Chains A and B, each alone.
Chain A
Amino acid sequence: EIVLTQSPATLSLSPGERATLSCRASQSVSSYLAWYQQKPGQAPRLLIYDASNRATGIPARFSGSGSGTDFTLTISSLEPEDFAVYYCQQRSNWPPTFGPGTKVDIK
């Protein structure tokens, strides 16, 4: 099973700042990586798939990059609604697995 680690665990930023979240895989997942956003009491929402493709309706301030074992989710300028927990997920190897999450909170 592929293990995903995310850093940092918590990111404290102000609205308007740039957020950079990291996800590292225990072995190569090629580009088969997704990012999800989850707000308290809500279901996760797909943001990015195949490392860099934005899902339907996702604003352009969200971007993904990386391949192999190292991936990044960037939020170019944080909006108030972006403060949430972000999970990465791989589908390269069965079973699909998720990272532990990065919480982006307001500084």
Chain B
Amino acid sequence: QVQLVESGGGVVQPGGSLRLSCAASGFTFSSYGMHWVRQAPGKGLEWVAFIRYDGSNKYYADSVKGRFTISRDNSKNTLYLQMNSLRAEDTAVYYCAKDLSAGDASYYFDYWGQGTLVTVSS
């Protein structure tokens, strides 16, 4: 069965950095685009970033562009999110999510991890 397990969350000061990881299993990781989606406490869902199955294309929400970098290691079945210049408004649970479609992305999210909480506070 598909499993996505995030790690790397925690408390960081404004301006600091954090790297999230998402370990994938139960499917052919190298065939699917992957996403990060976040949810601020008590709020709705916000798409953050996407990486193509082969890592050749990456897209970001305007709110994180230039500060966050999505990457993947298909040999380790792992997705990453490097977060720099963190702000209080980045405080959220960060989910990694698998794209519904193999190959070209559908931008629907059919499997999600359990999420990892990032708190930006002094």
Contact = CB atoms under 8 A, between A and B. Distances in A.
Given A94-B59, A95-B61, A46 B108 contact: yes
B110 to A, nearest CB: 5
Interface in B62-113: 62, 95, 100, 106-113
A95 B95 CA distance: 17
B108 A43 contact: no
A56 B111 CA distance: 11
A34 interface: yes
Contacts of A83: none
B44 A87 contact: yes
A43 B61 CA distance: 20
Contacts of B106: 49, 91
B11 interface: no
A44 interface: yes
A40 to B, nearest CB: 11
Contact of B112 (A34, A45, A89): A45
26 contacts: A34-B108, A36-B45, A36-B109, A43-B113, A43-B114, A44-B45, A44-B95, A46-B100, A46-B108, A46-B110, A49-B106, A49-B108, A49-B110, A55-B100, A55-B110, A56-B110, A87-B44, A87-B45, A89-B45, A89-B109, A91-B106, A91-B108, A95-B59, A96-B107, A98-B44, A98-B45
For the complex of A and B, the 6 pairs showing the least CB-CB separation, nearest first, are A91-B107, A43-B112, A98-B45, A49-B108, A96-B107, A96-B47
Contacts of A56: 110
A98 B46 CA distance: 7
Interface of A: 34, 36, 42-46, 49, 55-56, 87, 89, 91, 94-101
Nearest to B6: A43
A99 B44 contact: yes
A95 B47 contact: yes
A94 B47 CA distance: 10
B47 A49 contact: no
A63 to B, nearest CB: 17
Contacts of B108: 34, 46, 49, 89, 91
